[in-house]
Structure 1
Amino acid sequence: VCINTAGGYTCTCAEGYWLFHGQCQDIDECRYGYCQQLCANAPGSYSCSCNPGFVLNPDGRTCQDVDECEEEPCNHACFNTYGSFMCNCDEGFELASDGTTCMDLDECSFSEFLCQHTCVNSAGSFSCVCPPGYYLYEDDRSCEDINECDTGNNTCTTEQVCFNFQGGYTCLGPLQCEPPHVAVSDNQCMCSAENPACKDRPFTILYRHMDLPAGRSVPADIFQMQATTRYPGAFYIFQIKSGNDGREFYMRQTSHVSATLVLVRPIKGPKKVVLDLEMVTVNNVINFRGSSIIQLTIFVSEHPF
């Protein structure tokens, strides 16, 4: 632009240009930080733009953060950040690779020890389930035996005795002694030494019951047997007379009048084991030899709890 003056003239440039050696040259506004973020120079002008996550303010130069969470891009929770956003998932879910989708977290796949028995995955959570005969403990993970004999949830008659074991129960009928043995209590049969038919038969047979969890660590002392009457000059021999077909047990004599039944091999259940534990009394002074039996019935549970 030429402007005449008295005795001369001057040249000026349009907006966006500056005069240099008589020539109008473009001003690079971007060089001088005219824009807050992105700048594009043009002949005699410039334009501003913003990075993703921002919008240009009405002044055409500054940028304002966009709140992406208003558009609900996340499955669950959204947190706006400066120029972006972050998604977060509810408990029991995990963020997918797309950064917005929440997928169910299979807690059961993390560890086989999460539940004592069975772990069932569900959307955002999991639950533990116990086998029949057990209830879920207050920690929601452990299984406790239901004592059907205490709760009354059993089928035993009034003539029977309810015996509870881990994961179940059984009904014990009235004691029936095989002649010539006669019942002297509700769990003991006796054969009188005065009865000729009792020769070479056990003097007493005592019936006992116990439960045992499957897979119990071995060796383990599980039952003790002891002479209740001691005779001068007598000694005692303890042995498993029958029922130890799998050789899971042996008798360890702990003193001259007692012995302990030891479990030496793990037993898988459910299983019922009936052992005849014999105590032989020998007295060479009076030339006496007799025996007593404890018939021990062991109910082995199906599970190790």
Structure 2
Amino acid sequence: MAGHVPWPGHHVIVNMLWICVGLLAGLFSCALLQEAQEPISYSCTEGYEYDSVSEQCKDIDECALLDDACKGGMQCINHYGGYLCLPKSARIFISKEGEEAPPPQEPVAPPSQPQAPRMFPGRVSYTGRTTVRCSAGFMPDEQNVCRDINECDTQSPCEHHCYNLIGSFLCQCNQGHELAPDLVSCQDIDECSFSSYMCQYQCINSPGSYSCECPEGYQLQGNRLCQDVNECEAGTHNCQDDEMCWNYYGGFRCYPRNPCEAPYTQSSENRCICRSQNECQGLPPSIVYKYMSIQAERPVPADIFQIQATNIYANTHNTFRIKAGNEAGDFFLRRSSNASAMLVLTKPLSGPREYVVDLEMITHHLTMNYHSSSLLRLTVIVGAYAF
């Protein structure tokens, strides 16, 4: 009788032949003869191995067999006779000849567990068709491996700058632009619409940028601030020789170098005195002219000017008051000491506008029991802007 004995990789077939020799007296003696034959090899197509139990060639699952079958985080997809290394986002459909492939949008998830062995008849070569469908941003190469498409080189989809990504691409815009809703076009950013802080006075938008402008009488300082131009120092004023140029925020004004009017005469710069007792009856004996400029809409209360007595005598008491120019109650004079007082702004003032305020100091002589007064005529020029 003949039998098959399985052996890894091949079979060793041994014929065991019993030869029975008849002996006398009806006795039989049997001898066991063993006849060994050369082993028979069964070879399979590359990618398959022989299964001795089913006596068939089965597919080798390289993905389960090799831990590092695919590098770089790619997924390993086993198929008949081999395996594929695809990006994790790739979609693949493997079919036999004649099978209809599913629509491209239907992904086939990679197997999470080892697949069941796929068996094929021994010595029979399987010929099938493998359809590889890649996700958007990938395309199969000659080995049916999904490779990334560099859209920046092949399509130039971005209006400004294109950066290739695995399976996609990213568009970026030049400074001063932002991506449009289509994510490929670039549109100008209107920086002026962000905040009034962009410019101190006026913001001018331009493609990809913006600029700040200042009103007449100012110049741009840095990128956003406006600085007053001092026309008096720059010599760009039109004051006459007998006039004094006084700069204020946003402009200048010309005032007479001799502000004294009869019956006063000029004793020094900006100081007028009355020398005739008859003509100066009821008038302050002297008037001092001062000028100052402030910005519009200044926060209040604000100390803006200090009046100070030039001569201090013993046994005297000084009082201070606003004699004229405060009809609207824009100012308040606060006594600081026996020799000084502070002019306080009580309301935000709009400009350009000029205020002339007469500040009077009355000196009462205690021992001789008489009083005298002096007047400071302050011209306050309010600029047109709060800077």
TM over 0.5: yes
Q: Measure the CA separation in 2 of the matches of 1:53 and 1:176.
A: 85
Pick the aligned partner of 1:118 from 181, 196, 202.
202
Residue identity over aligned pairs, in percent, reads: 42
Q: Does the C-alpha gap of structure 1 residues 153 and 208 become closer, same or farther in structure 2, counting only changes over 3 Å? A: same
Any unmatched runs of 5+ in structure 1?
1-20, 22-29
Aligned to 2:241: 158
Q: Measure the CA separation in 1 of the matches of 2:324 and 2:84.
A: 98
| Aligned residues of 1:200 and 1:290 also touching (Cα < 8 A) | no
| Aligned residues of 2:287 and 2:376 also touching (Cα < 8 A) | yes
Q: Does the C-alpha gap of structure 1 residues 55 and 229 become closer, same or farther in structure 2, counting only changes over 3 Å? A: same
Q: Measure the CA separation in 2 of the matches of 1:223 and 1:136.
A: 29
Deviation per CA, 1:97-143, whole angstroms, max 9, x where unpaired? 21111111111122211211111111111111111100001x21111
| Aligned residues of 1:252 and 1:259 also touching (Cα < 8 A) | yes
Tell me, yes or no, if structure 1 residue 54 matches structure 2 residue 108: no
Pick the aligned partner of 2:316 from 234, 251, 272.
234
**Displacement of 1:96 after TM fit?**
1.6
The residue type paired with residue 280 of structure 2 is C
Aligned to 2:93: 39
| Aligned residues of 2:217 and 2:250 also touching (Cα < 8 A) | yes
Q: Measure the CA separation in 2 of the matches of 1:84 and 1:176.
A: 80
What's the secondary structure of 2:178's corresponding residue? strand
**Displacement of 1:171 after TM fit?**
1.1
Q: Measure the CA separation in 1 of the matches of 2:281 and 2:179.
A: 81
Mark the structure with the bigger radius of gyration.
Answer: 2
Aligned length: 289
Q: Measure the CA separation in 2 of the matches of 1:260 and 1:91.
A: 52
| Aligned residues of 1:276 and 1:296 also touching (Cα < 8 A) | yes
- Aligned ranges for residues 204-219 of structure 1 at < 5 Å? 204-219=286-301
Q: Measure the CA separation in 1 of the matches of 2:372 and 2:281.
A: 9
Any unmatched runs of 5+ in structure 2?
1-53, 55-76, 87-91, 98-127
Aligned to 2:213: 129
What's the secondary structure of 1:49's corresponding residue? coil
Tell me, yes or no, if structure 1 residue 84 matches structure 2 residue 168: yes
Aligned to 1:8: none
**Displacement of 1:284 after TM fit?**
4.4
The residue type paired with residue 316 of structure 2 is A
The residue type paired with residue 39 of structure 1 is F
What's the secondary structure of 1:273's corresponding residue? strand
Q: Measure the CA separation in 2 of the matches of 1:299 and 1:185.
A: 23
Deviation per CA, 1:248-274, whole angstroms, max 9, x where unpaired? 111100111211111121111111111
| Aligned residues of 2:78 and 2:84 also touching (Cα < 8 A) | no
Q: Measure the CA separation in 1 of the matches of 2:234 and 2:289.
A: 25
Q: Measure the CA separation in 2 of the matches of 1:163 and 1:178.
A: 20
TM-score by length of 2: 0.68
Deviation per CA, 1:56-109, whole angstroms, max 9, x where unpaired? 2123x2122211002210011100111111001111111122111111111112
The residue type paired with residue 291 of structure 2 is H
Structure 1, 173-182 or 157-166: larger mean CA deviation: 173-182
**Displacement of 1:42 after TM fit?**
3.8
| Aligned residues of 1:118 and 1:130 also touching (Cα < 8 A) | yes
- Aligned ranges for residues 144-293 of structure 1 at < 5 Å? 144-192=227-275, 195-293=277-375
The residue type paired with residue 58 of structure 1 is E
The residue type paired with residue 111 of structure 1 is S
Q: Measure the CA separation in 2 of the matches of 1:65 and 1:231.
A: 97
Aligned CA-pair RMSD: 3.0
Q: Measure the CA separation in 1 of the matches of 2:259 and 2:202.
A: 42
TM-score by length of 1: 0.86
Q: Measure the CA separation in 1 of the matches of 2:129 and 2:148.
A: 26
Q: Measure the CA separation in 2 of the matches of 1:132 and 1:40.
A: 77
Q: Measure the CA separation in 2 of the matches of 1:186 and 1:166.
A: 24
What's the secondary structure of 1:86's corresponding residue? strand
Deviation per CA, 1:21-72, whole angstroms, max 9, x where unpaired? 9xxxxxxxx863755552241434331122211222123x212221100221
Q: Measure the CA separation in 2 of the matches of 1:107 and 1:249.
A: 41
What's the secondary structure of 1:197's corresponding residue? coil
